[in-house]
Homo-oligomer: A and B are copies of this chain.
């Protein structure tokens, strides 16, 4: 697979890096290829795993460092799952959040609209602009609350 043949914004990553005085390396190419094939969410460990599948000589620290620069380019955004582990949002388009029910273990997304409502509630008193996508909110879903009440 050739990076140049990938859809935007992946195909222009090499140029964007060079324009910033950064470099285009085989290791970064591997990470990009993996990310291009993984829309949505991926944990750090998964990413490392998939890179190693393509290139057995992949080193974890290199992957994590590459993710840092890709985050600066806005291609990924890191957050934390219910256990605090790293999770990357690939091509973060719409602002969205994650909810996790501690009782039934389910995790799901809240769309842009709800996210905006929550952000507004937080901005309320002291003007804090929350990055709602950064963490997974933990609690109990409506079903489990109802079950506990009965």
Contact = CB atoms under 8 A, between A and B. Distances in A.
Interface of A: 80, 83-86, 99, 101-102, 114, 117-118, 120-122, 124-132, 134-142, 145-146
What 3 pairs between A and B have smallest CB-CB spacing?
A: A127-B142, A84-B84, A121-B121
A131 B142 contact: no
Please report whether the interface of chain A is mostly helix, strand, loop or mixed according to DSSP: mixed
Contacts of A146: 127
A127 B102 contact: no
A126 B138 contact: no
Nearest to A101: B128
B140 A129 contact: yes
Contacts of A125: 114, 117
Nearest to A111: B125
A139 B135 contact: no
Contacts of A101: 128
Contacts of A102: 131
A11 to B, nearest CB: 30
Given A118-B121, A121-B121, 19 more contacts: A80-B80, A80-B135, A99-B122, A99-B128, A114-B125, A117-B124, A122-B139, A127-B142, A127-B146, A128-B137, A128-B141, A128-B142, A129-B141, A130-B139, A131-B139, A131-B140, A132-B137, A134-B137, A135-B136
